[in-house]
Chain A
Amino acid sequence: MTTPAINIEHLRKAYRTGTVAVQDLSMQVQPGDFFGFLGPNGAGKSTTIHCITGIATVTSGKIEIFGIDAVKDYREARRLIGLSPQEFNVDTFATVTQIIDWMGGYFGMNAAQRKSRVDMLIQRFDLTTHAKKSFRELSGGLKRRVILARALVHDPKLLILDEPTAGVDVELRLDLWRYLQELNAEGKTILLTSHYLEEIERLCKTIAVIAGGKIVRQGPKEEFFTMPGGLEKTYLEATGHKADHVAAGAA
């Protein structure tokens, strides 16, 4: 039996304020999968990602990354993960090169490895003319590219992308889609959250829907499309909305 890339069992996350963001969430992501993680705002997507990556503490439950306990053996688990967060979390005065290079350094890459990898990523994300600029000087789309390059610097086995194309223009979005598909074809496991159903539809092989801190539906992409109304209707129903009402309201 293959060890899952992500194995979450009965995850619960309650904040100090008492808010329970995730309750009894269990799911598995298989190695090599392109996994779409869908849910409305506040459903618990980002909190789940923060628990996986160590940004948030886990209240109870188990998280394993390729069989490694992400809490007890967190250093080993984190070596395998690259994260592109929803919000920009960088030293905004640092340059593009510094931001990517430092991340490689935190992951223990030596100077030669970092140089080669940073150069490649700067070229791949078309950041060459911006390499010496500080993050705060960049446009929204360029910032998003830097965050993605930073997530990839240590060549992680598992890539977690929290709304990576939010606020990005169409050209860049299409380019990113192509690149993510290439990475997935090379064997990288990708977990993607997005509010664009088209993005999930085009890229993902497996889809999970989260609502109220719980997984309410999960399965191969085809299952969602064979249902009447397709992904949109299935998603709206799974998250407690009536598709007809939404459509009527929009009209």
Chain B
Amino acid sequence: MSDVTVAGSRRMGINWIGLGTIIRREWSRVWRVPIQAFLAPWISALMFIFIFGYVVGGNIRLIAGHRYVEFVLPGVLMLNVVNAAFLQSTSQIYFQRFLRYIEETLVAPLSYVEMIIGSLTMTIVRSVVTALGILLIGYAFGATQMYNIFEFLFWIVSVSIIFGLLGIIIALWANNFEQLTMLNVFFIAPLSFVGGVFNTVSMLPPFMRWIAYANPFFYFINGLRHSMIGFNEAPEGLGVAVTFGLIAVLGVATWRLFSIGYGLRE
């Protein structure tokens, strides 16, 4: 017999090597499609920033003392972070189910929490890489402000976790590619565009402002905008509360689905 019977050893109750392997595997999978994973969102952001921020924005007066390109950059950045997180999360779980290699992790000594954290870690990595690229593009167009880097990272990471968890739930539920894209088409894209990417809440007619306050995307974009240019339209602390609330609800729901094997086990 060889000396590998210690396989599955854990420290502090966690299979760290197993967790790291999930991340390594996903990193390898993402690097098979670098154009789709990174270049596409960067080019899309470049177009948004160039047209709306630079060309159109050049003819718009200052908003709350900031040039339009600086105002619009956090919104564009958040749109792409949300997309990157959701796509990463849905694709990794759905492809594992579709090609059945989810069974590799099901037969291994990995806990549900390790499987979820492994997926979310790679989701965060992809979102952060996407965000840093867009930040550089914004910098090239003169949007150089960074009000609070820690707050910036908080919003990128926490929004990635929210859409990472949402992506896992959708990927467990979906039985075809059509269903996989439904949430993005009918929920994420519309709500993110009306969440204040291009405008302030005060620009909306008064009767429509409650829609903005009821839209969670508004808090994500507003929070990121505050971290970058110091401009805030939401009540103090409400955005953070909404974010933690969503992470808690979606986290418990995802853990529950894994523990009953929904969409995973026969």
Contact = CB atoms under 8 A, between A and B. Distances in A.
Co-assembled chains A and B:
yes
Interface of A: 15, 47, 50, 53-57, 74-76, 78-79, 81, 83, 85, 87-94, 98, 102-110, 113, 117, 120, 150, 153-155, 157, 186-187
Given A56-B265, A105-B17, A155 B4 contact: yes
Contacts of B265: 54-57
Nearest 6 pairs between A and B by C-beta? A105-B21, A106-B108, A79-B8, A89-B100, A154-B7, A56-B266
A78 B25 contact: no
B128 interface: no
B175 to A, nearest CB: 13
Nearest to A151: B107
A92 B99 CA distance: 8
A51 to B, nearest CB: 9
Contacts of B9: 108
B17 A79 contact: no
Contacts of B108: 78, 103, 106-107
Interface in B60-74: none
Nearest to A160: B107
A186 B1 contact: yes
B29 A91 contact: yes
Main secondary structure of the interface of A (DSSP, over half): loop
B266 A55 contact: yes
A154 B9 CA distance: 12
B37 to A, nearest CB: 14
A105 B18 contact: yes
Interface string B213-240: 0000000000000000000000000000
Contacts of A50: 266
B24 A90 contact: no
A31 to B, nearest CB: 13
A155 B2 contact: yes
Nearest to A120: B2
25 contacts: A15-B266, A55-B107, A55-B266, A57-B261, A57-B265, A75-B15, A75-B111, A78-B108, A78-B109, A91-B25, A91-B29, A91-B95, A91-B101, A92-B99, A93-B32, A102-B21, A102-B24, A103-B108, A105-B18, A106-B15, A106-B105, A108-B18, A109-B17, A154-B4, A155-B4
Interface residues of B, number: 41
B47 interface: no
B209 interface: no
A108 B32 CA distance: 25
A113 B3 contact: yes
Given A56-B265, A78-B107, A106-B110, A98 B28 contact: yes
Nearest to A94: B28
A94 B25 CA distance: 9
A75 B261 CA distance: 15
A105 B99 contact: no
Contacts of B106: 53-55
A107 B18 contact: yes
Identify which of B20, B32, B106 gathers the most chain A CB atoms within 10 Å of its CB: B106
B10 interface: yes
B4 A109 contact: yes
